[in-house]
């Protein structure tokens, strides 16, 4: 894997990250926001793995960190879906624009 | 000190104020009789104590080596600002304050007695007696004040009591206006007083009277030197300070041009006029000048000249107006202004030490005698008003058979004020005019002329009320002859005052009260006594000719005098001038712009800041929209911003 | 030009394409599927970097668990077949700008930075991973391991509690 410069992988992960950010800001459906969040998390994972492989190959810290991130992401998604289902019961919609009661 | 003055003085001061608190709190819960009895009892006790103190002071042990001492009975530190400056409260006894104690307590007691009948049936009887007690307390505190600031405190208290009493009939707009006018004019004068206090006390380094006099009445002391050194418009700092203090006194004592409140103050009940506006409060200004007299006489004679001239002008001015007034109380009011002016110019022409301080003694002697006969005049006027239910002279006439005691008291008082030999006013006025003759001939001339006019207008009043028409027996509405049988207390007060008036002229006043505490002899100069008596008798004669029987000579003279008479009748338009100045000049040039600034600029600053806050919050509140994505956007923006800071802000 | 480089560029192209399609499509079910493919692409990248265990984890947990969970919830909220409404243009522009700004910042920092490859071999066998995972000395991860297990328990209980239907609201309805 020596041929691919580290910077290219990092560029990939950055673009993926901000795609996720865009998706989070610009989508009205809560589930789509959730999917964008997954994209963000994954881009971070790529970053960690790449750094581990290229810069610090002796230890596997990056890999473990990514593993934990995956685990936490899994837990987070389940909780997020539970909340979304609860909101759906209350507002009968998963549109995030219709759930703005916590305001002035 | 053999005599312990503490307990009598404490009682004298605190009994009236306790009476005030009790009466004002009890109000309508106690019956009028109880209220009246409380007031009368308290005042009788105070009077007896005052006489006791006076006896002890003057006859037993006030005198040390022939000089009456200033005794500080109490001098407690009240507010201590620094080592040098502290405001104390205390009681000081010296000849003039003890004399005033007698005057105040006795006249107040008479007024309490008189009011029992006069104010009978009045709705707020209890409050009236409460206010009378408050006034008595304030005035007593004023005369025994141990430092000038304490005197100022009681000065203001007296003003408040006067306000409450003048405006007693507060449903009458004229009474309210008069009370306001009195308070505002005297308050305005008190501004000068306060400035004078600050100026003099700061330079003298003390507020205490005894210390102040000791420091400033000695032209060689460093304090006096520093005050006399500076010069502003030709007068030294000390003179200016004393003039400012005198302005305060002039306001309270109704000197020209601050006399305008006193005639209007006649809106109050007549006993109030007798107490406050004849005998006690209005002499506070004279008392103030007398208190500071050593400083005036020794270190600031130019200020003393001003005092003298103001007094003389006021005396003549008021006397002329009094000749034209038709309201009985107004005549008496202007007479009071004139007589107090006598006292003032007598102080003005006085010197210091031994025979030269005749003016001082004369002034206070006249204060003493005037209190009695003026109070009597007002009480008599009250009885007359009670009988005919009107204040105007036109509705009176021929009352000498209907009101015998009143008639007698009025006659004696008029004889006293006119300076007829043998009566009280003769003795005191003689001393004054003698002092004026030795001091300043012009003032002597004015004083002489004014005495004649005084005799004239007082007897004009007397003849008009009690003669003029045929003496009526059982006139008209009531069907009964003698009004006086219904008013025993009023008669009692009048009789006691008659006795007092007859007696006081014979007191050898110079023995007790003089400028430096040493007894002086007041010799009787025959040559000097004749002119005043002559002009007095002349005035009486003219009044007799014009007013004893019903005729039209007065009207003819009025028409002949034309414009001058009209001006005098309208009090020389002084009130109109004041109104003009305040309305057209002060209100328009100062008041309106200030109000405009306040309404538009100051208010708008606050409204503007409130509106600004509201607008800002309206625009910011959209930030809390409840939309998660917006929050996330701001979050990310913040992160980017902080990252930029870290990266590029080294 | 290595075969690896070509594969890398292909995979990254696939990831990015599917990523864009996830965030811009109007059909929610398709978005889930595009996400699935993007995640598979990422697993491919892990394989390329010889992190086999990681790739396996990615497929099993992300693809086989999380995406399936999302699809279930799509069904639960009755959205299959409907088109998601478009966001407001203002919102689109705003978010695009912000994302672009962030991207610019990151790239501006990243690209000038010169990374030096270490060149050593990375031992990513499962044996090594297992040893390190339960090691309590330096570079050992037994503590985070335990904490993660507790966290998973908490997430499990939490989701049940949040999403449980209370009997009262059912009867009132």
Burial class (CB in 10 A: 0-12, 13-18, 19+), B612: exposed
pLDDT-derived band at B482, boundaries 50, 70, 90: low
Q: Give residue B473's pLDDT.
A: 54
Beta bridge partners of B145: B91
Count H helices, E strands: chain A?
3, 0
Q: Closest partner residue to C48 among A1, A27, A84, by Cβ?
A: A1
Mean pLDDT, residues B365-380 taken together: 90
A71 in a structural domain:
yes
Quote the mean pLDDT of chain B: 85
Q: Is residue A37 part of a domain?
A: yes
| Radius of gyration of chain A measured on its C-alpha atoms | 17
Helix (H, G, I), strand (E, B) or coil at B34: helix
pLDDT at B95 over 90: no
d(CA C28, CA C19): 14
Are A100 and B627 an interchain contact pair (Cβ–Cβ within 8 Å)?
Answer: yes
Testing the interface with C: which of A2, A17, A21, A61 to mutate, by most C Cβ within 10 A?
A21
> Residue B437 is inside which H or E element, if any?
helix B424-439
Contact B239/B302 with Cβ under 8 angstroms?
A: yes
Question: A12, C16: Cβ pair inside 8 Å?
Answer: yes
Instruction: Name the residue facing A24 among B625, B626, B632 (closest C-beta).
Output: B632
Residues of B in contact with C105 (CB under 8 A): 640, 643-644
Q: Which residue of B has its CA nearest to A103?
A: B626
Residue A104 domain-assigned (yes or no): no
The pLDDT of residue B354? 67
Listed residue (B320, B329, B397) closest to B574, CA to CA: B320
Interface test with C, best of B623, B632, B636 (most C CBs within 10 A): B636
Distance from CA of A98 to the nearest CA of C (A): 12
Q: List Cβ neighbours of C42 (8 Å cut-off, separation of 6 or more).
A: A42, A45, A46, C15, C58
Is there a domain that residue A98 lies in? no
Please tell me the distance from the alpha carbon of residue B144 to that of residue B11, in angstroms, as a whole number: 13
Q: What's the residue count for chain A?
A: 104
CB atoms within 10 A of CB B597: 11
- Number of domains observed in the structure of chain A: 1
Q: Which among B626, B633, B636 has CB closest to A103?
A: B626
Contact C95 B640 (CB under 8 A): no
* Closest Cβ–Cβ partner in A25, A33, A100 for B626: A100
pLDDT tens for residues A21-55? 999 998 888 899 999 999 999 999 999 999 998 88
B74: three-class secondary structure by DSSP: strand
Q: Does B99 score more than 50 pLDDT?
A: yes
Q: Mutate which of A50, A70, A87 to disrupt the C interface (most C C-beta within 10 Å)?
A: A70
User: pLDDT by residue (tens digit) across B283-311?
Assistant: 899 999 998 888 888 888 888 888 999 99
For the stretch A43-88, pLDDT in tens is 999 999 999 988 888 888 889 999 999 999 999 999 999 999 988 8
Largest Cα–Cα distance in chain B? 116
**A1 CA: distance to closest CA in chain C (Å):** 6
Largest CA distance in chain A: 56
CB contact under 8 A, B643 and C94: no
Pair B269, B118: CB distance under 8 Å: yes
Half-sphere exposure of B111 (CA within 13 A, CB side): 31
Q: How high is the pLDDT of residue B611?
A: 93
| Nearest chain A CA: its distance from C59 CA (Å) | 11
| Contact in structure between B363 and B293 (CB atoms under 8 Å) | no
Of A21, A35, A82, the CB nearest to C162: A82
Which CATH number covers residue A35?
A: 1.10.287.3510
Residue in chain B lying closest to C96 (CA):
B633
Contact indicator for B133, B16 with CB cutoff of 8 Å: yes
- In this prediction, residue B173 has a pLDDT band, given cuts at 50, 70 and 90, of very high
CA nearest to A101 within chain B: B626
First to last CA, chain B: 87
Chain A interface includes B625 (CB < 8 A)? yes
Which chain C residues contact residue A82 at CB under 8 A?
158-160, 162-163
Chains with ≥3 CB–CB distances under 8 Å to C: A, B
CB-CB neighbors (< 8 A) of A21 in chain B:
636
CB contact (8 A) between residue B624 and residue A103? yes
CATH code linked to domain C1-83: 1.20.120.1200
The chain A residue lying nearest C89, using CA atoms, is A26
Are residues C98 and B643, on separate chains, in Cβ contact within 8 Å? no
B644–C95 C-beta distance less than 8 A:
no
CA distance B46 to B51: 9
Cα atoms in the 13 Å half-sphere on the side-chain side of C63: 18
| Contact at CB, B626 and A24, closer than 8 angstroms | no
Confidence class for position B472, pLDDT limits 50, 70, 90: low
pLDDT at B156 over 60: yes
Residues on chain A touching C120 (C-beta within 8 angstroms):
57-58
pLDDT in tens, B487-524: 788 888 888 888 888 888 888 877 787 777 777 777 77
Residue A98 is classified by DSSP as G
Chain C residues with CB inside 8 Å of B636's CB? 98, 102
* Both structure tokens of B75: 């001098």
A2 touching B, CB under 8 A? no
Residue C104 has pLDDT above 60, yes or no: yes
Give domain status of residue A103, yes or no.
no
Q: Which residue has the higher pLDDT, B498 or B221?
A: B498
Picking from B629, B640, B647, the nearest residue to C101 by CB comes out as B640
Query: Burial, C56: exposed, middle or buried (Cβ in 10 Å; 0-12, 13-18, 19+)?
Result: middle
A37: chain B residues, CB-CB within 8 Å: none
Interface of A with B in 11-50 (CB under 8 A): 21, 24-26, 33
- Which of B637, B643, B644 shows the shortest C-beta gap to C98? B637
To the nearest whole Å, the CA of B638 is away from the closest chain A CA by: 14
The whole-angstrom distance between C168's CA and the closest CA on chain A is: 14
List beta partners, residue B86.
Answer: B80
Question: Residues B8-17: pLDDT tens digits?
Answer: 888 889 999 9
Which two three-digit tokens encode residue A19?
């795609």
Q: What percent of chain B has pLDDT over 90?
A: 25
Token pair for residue A80? 């997020």
Residues of C in contact with B629 (CB under 8 A): 91, 95
pLDDT of residue A50: 92
What distance in Å separates residue B607's CA from the closest CA in chain C?
36
pTM: 0.69
- Cβ contacts of residue A68 below 8 Å, gap of 6+? C144, C148
| Length of chain B in terms of residues written | 650
């Amino acid at each position: 894997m020596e041929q691919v410069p580290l910077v290219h992988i990092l560029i990939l992960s950055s673009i993926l990250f901000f795609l996720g950010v865009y998706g989070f800001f610009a989508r009205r459906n809560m589930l789509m926001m959730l999917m964008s969040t997954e994209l963000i998390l994954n881009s971070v994972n790529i970053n960690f793995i790449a750094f581990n492989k290229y810069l610090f190959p002796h230890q596997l810290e990056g890999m473990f960190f990514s593993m934990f991130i995956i685990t936490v992401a899994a837990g987070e998604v389940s909780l997020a879906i539970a909340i979304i289902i609860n909101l759906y019961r209350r507002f009968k919609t998963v549109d995030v624009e219709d759930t703005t009661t916590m305001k002035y | 000190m053999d005599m312990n003055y503490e307990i009598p003085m404490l009682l004298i001061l605190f009994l009236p104020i306790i009476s005030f608190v009790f009466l004002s709190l009890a109000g309508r819960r106690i019956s009028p009789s109880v209220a009246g009895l409380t007031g009368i009892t308290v005042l009788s006790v105070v009077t007896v104590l005052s006489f006791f103190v006076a006896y002890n002071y003057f006859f037993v042990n006030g005198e040390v080596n022939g000089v009456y001492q200033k005794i500080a009975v109490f001098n407690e530190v009240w507010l201590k600002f620094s080592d040098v400056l502290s405001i104390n409260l205390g009681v000081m006894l010296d000849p003039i304050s003890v004399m005033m104690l007698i005057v105040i307590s006795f006249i107040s007691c008479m007024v309490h007695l008189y009011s029992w009948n006069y104010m009978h049936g009045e709705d707020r009887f209890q409050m009236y007696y409460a206010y009378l007690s408050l006034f008595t307390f304030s005035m007593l505190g004023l005369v025994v004040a141990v430092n000038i600031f304490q005197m100022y405190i009681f000065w203001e208290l007296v003003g408040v009591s006067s306000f409450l009493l003048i405006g007693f009939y507060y449903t009458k707009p004229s009474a309210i206006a008069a009370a306001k006018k009195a308070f505002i004019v005297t308050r305005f004068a008190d501004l000068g007083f306060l400035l004078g206090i600050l100026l003099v006390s700061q330079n003298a380094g003390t507020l205490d009277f005894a210390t102040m006099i000791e420091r400033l009445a000695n032209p060689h002391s460093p304090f006096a030197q520093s005050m006399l050194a500076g010069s502003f418009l030709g007068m030294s700092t000390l003179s200016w300070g004393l003039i400012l203090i005198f302005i305060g006194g002039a306001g309270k004592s109704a000197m020209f041009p601050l006399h305008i409140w006193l005639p209007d103050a006649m809106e109050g009940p007549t006993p109030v006029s007798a107490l406050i506006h004849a005998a006690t409060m209005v002499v506070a200004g004279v008392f103030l000048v007398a208190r500071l007299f050593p400083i005036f006489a020794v270190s600031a004679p130019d200020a003393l000249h001003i005092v003298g001239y103001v007094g003389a002008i006021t005396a003549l001015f008021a006397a002329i107006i009094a000749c034209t007034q038709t309201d009985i109380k107004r005549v008496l009011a202007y007479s009071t202004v004139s007589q107090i002016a006598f006292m003032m110019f007598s102080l003005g022409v006085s010197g210091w030490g031994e025979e030269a301080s005749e003016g001082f003694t004369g002034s206070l002697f006249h204060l003493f005698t005037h209190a009695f006969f003026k109070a009597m005049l007002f009480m008599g006027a009250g009885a007359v008003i009670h009988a005919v239910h009107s204040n105007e002279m036109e509705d009176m006439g021929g009352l000498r058979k209907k009101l015998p005691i009143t008639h007698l008291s009025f006659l004696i008082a008029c004889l006293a004020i006119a300076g007829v030999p043998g009566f009280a006013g003769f003795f005191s006025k003689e001393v004054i005019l003698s002092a004026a003759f030795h001091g300043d001939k012009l003032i002597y001339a004015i004083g002489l002329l004014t005495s004649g006019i005084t005799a004239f207008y007082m007897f004009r009043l007397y003849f008009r009320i009690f003669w003029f028409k045929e003496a009526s027996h059982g006139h008209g509405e009531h069907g009964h002859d003698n009004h006086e049988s219904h008013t025993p207390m009023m008669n009692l007060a009048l009789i006691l005052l008659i006795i007092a008036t007859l007696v006081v002229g014979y007191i050898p006043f110079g023995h007790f009260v003089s400028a430096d505490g040493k007894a002086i002899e007041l010799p009787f100069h025959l040559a000097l006594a004749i002119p005043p008596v002559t002009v007095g008798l002349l005035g009486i004669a003219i009044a007799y000719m014009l007013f004893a029987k019903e005729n039209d000579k007065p009207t003819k003279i009025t028409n002949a005098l034309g414009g001058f008479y009209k001006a005098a009748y309208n009090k020389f338009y002084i009130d109109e001038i004041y109104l003009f100045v305040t309305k057209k000049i002060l209100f328009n040039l100062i008041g309106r712009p200030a109000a405009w600034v306040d309404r538009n600029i100051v208010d708008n600053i606050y409204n503007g800041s409130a509106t600004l806050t509201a607008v800002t919050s309206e625009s910011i509140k959209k930030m809390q929209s409840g939309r998660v994505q917006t929050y996330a956007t701001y979050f990310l923006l913040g992160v980017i911003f902080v990252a930029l800071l870290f990266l590029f802000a080294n | 030009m290595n075969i690896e480089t070509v594969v890398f560029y292909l995979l990254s192209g696939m990831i990015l394409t599917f990523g864009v399609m996830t965030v811009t499509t109007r059909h929610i079910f398709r978005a889930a599927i595009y996400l699935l493919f993007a995640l598979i692409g990422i697993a491919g990248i892990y394989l390329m970097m010889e992190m086999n265990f990681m790739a396996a984890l990615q497929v099993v947990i992300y693809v086989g668990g999380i995406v399936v969970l999302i699809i279930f919830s799509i069904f639960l909220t009755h959205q299959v077949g409907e088109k998601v409404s478009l966001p407001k243009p203002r919102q689109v522009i705003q978010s695009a700008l912000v994302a672009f700004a962030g991207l610019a910042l990151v790239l501006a920092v990243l690209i000038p930075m010169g990374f030096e490859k270490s060149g050593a071999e990375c031992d990513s066998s499962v044996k090594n991973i297992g040893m390190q995972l339960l090691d309590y000395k330096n570079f050992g991860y037994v503590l985070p391991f335990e904490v993660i297990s507790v966290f998973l328990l908490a997430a499990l209980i939490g989701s049940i509690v949040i999403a449980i239907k209370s009997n009262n609201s059912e009867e009132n309805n």
